[in-house]
Amino acid sequence: MAKYKGFAMLGINKTGWIEKDIPEVGPFDALCKPLAISPCTSDVHTVWEGALGERTDLILGHEAVAEVVEVGSLIKDFKPGDKVIIPAITPDWEAVESQMGYSQHSGGMLQGWKFSNSKDGVFGEYFHVNEADGNLALLPEGVDVCDAVMLSDMVPTGLHGANLAQVEYGETVAVIGIGPVGLMAVAGSVLRGAGRIFAVGSRKKCQEIAKFYGATDIINYRDGDIVEQILEANKGIFVDKVILAGGDVDTFEQAIKIVRRGGIVSNVNYIGTGDYIKIPRLEWGLGMGHISVIGGLMPGGRKNMEYLSHLLMYKRLDVSPMLTHRFNKFEDIETALLLMKDKPGDLIKPVVLL
């Protein structure tokens, strides 16, 4: 059986290049070869925080644009040679959870997330895609390959935050955490018609780009309590929506304290520690304040990739300012991942063009 090379988690805190058998292609599957990839903070969580528990020889990565190499016998819409966008989340579409609108959780909590989780990821010479007709999208002409990699995870996750928050025309939104996902939550809020946008973060580069995406106010938690800063800037008026793209269980408390009755706190951040999400009872209206708290994994699949690619095609969204570090050799995957781990001040996202 033919082998391929990939960059893997060897165990918690250990990474390296390994060889594996090229996966078999079932009737509804596809085999792809990456054209461009990007590492994600989740890869860092997986390896260096053990977010998924112990894993051995798991090829990392779930953000890629690729070329189709082989398709299953029952695939109708794709063929070898097609250039495609691969979503980080590749659901089982026939699952009951998918039929209910929660394809992210097809097969169980978060189980629509397969790459670098329940199967090998995209940091290899090849990777396998399940239900290819439902999970691949053609790369539209005129869309840059590196830009398109942002559609795998950063764009849909950030925009999902704005969708869960149901941002409406003229609303005031606070986005807490302005790494790449938070930046896309800012952009996503603008794309849903938000008015004032508070972007909370401390890194200069991130603040700069948050403004590019439409943040009207930058709040730095190093300058004091963010609840006080936001309420003061907003003249004591609560914000309409809060999107959490950073922080931890305590950040929910801050969110509840700045949001109006009838508002929404939406989370798209991986919460790695703590026993309980903290919802302060009083500010939550003693249980009766109509403040919704919701958090969710991005929806994946073909339809989302197609529709989000329209935002790039028609210049509604420019992701290029996020691509602060560019590489162009397969071997650079390792460098790019370590960069994501070390987060130098000028980094938003690295991308590797292959």
Q: How many CA within 13 A on the CB side of residue 225?
A: 10
- CA-nearest of 25, 26, 17, 19 to 3 is 19
270 near a second copy (CB under 8 A): yes
User: Distance (Å, rounded) from C-alpha 34 to C-alpha 339?
Assistant: 20
Nearest-approach distance from CB 93 to a second copy, in angstroms: 4
118 near a second copy (CB under 8 A): no
**Stretch 300-319 residues interacting with a second copy (CB under 8 A):** 301-304, 306-311, 313-314, 316
14 near a second copy (CB under 8 A): no
User: Distance (Å, rounded) from C-alpha 220 to C-alpha 226?
Assistant: 7
**Stretch 277-296 residues interacting with a second copy (CB under 8 A):** 277-281, 284-296
Nearest-approach distance from CB 101 to a second copy, in angstroms: 7
Nearest-approach distance from CB 87 to a second copy, in angstroms: 11
Q: Using the rule CB under 8 A, give the single segment among 14-22, 97-105, 200-208, 223-231 that binds a second copy.
A: 97-105
Is the CB of 36 or the CB of 184 nearer to a second copy? 184
Nearest-approach distance from CB 219 to a second copy, in angstroms: 16
Q: Is 114 exposed, middle or buried (0-12, 13-18, 19+ CB in 10 A)?
A: buried
128 near a second copy (CB under 8 A): no
Is the CB of 279 or the CB of 353 nearer to a second copy? 279
What are the φ and ψ backbone dihedral angles of 323, each rounded to 5 degrees?
Answer: -85, 80
CA-angle at 110, arms to 152 and 35, nearest 5°: 20
Is the CB of 29 or the CB of 120 nearer to a second copy? 29
Nearest-approach distance from CB 348 to a second copy, in angstroms: 21
| Contact of 2 with 18, CB cutoff 8 Å | no
Nearest-approach distance from CB 291 to a second copy, in angstroms: 8
Q: Using the rule CB under 8 A, give the single segment among 56-64, 166-174, 176-184, 331-339 that binds a second copy.
A: 166-174
Q: Using the rule CB under 8 A, give the single segment among 6-14, 176-184, 265-273, 333-341 that binds a second copy.
A: 265-273
3-state class (DSSP) for residue 297: coil
- What are the structure tokens assigned to 15, written together? 């990474």
| Contact of 80 with 60, CB cutoff 8 Å | no
Nearest-approach distance from CB 6 to a second copy, in angstroms: 26
Q: Is 180 exposed, middle or buried (0-12, 13-18, 19+ CB in 10 A)?
A: buried
- What are the structure tokens assigned to 324, written together? 């602060």
**Stretch 230-259 residues interacting with a second copy (CB under 8 A):** 244, 249, 252-253
268 near a second copy (CB under 8 A): yes
95 near a second copy (CB under 8 A): yes
Q: Which residues pair with 88 in a beta bridge?
A: none
Q: What is the CA radius of gyration of the chain?
A: 20
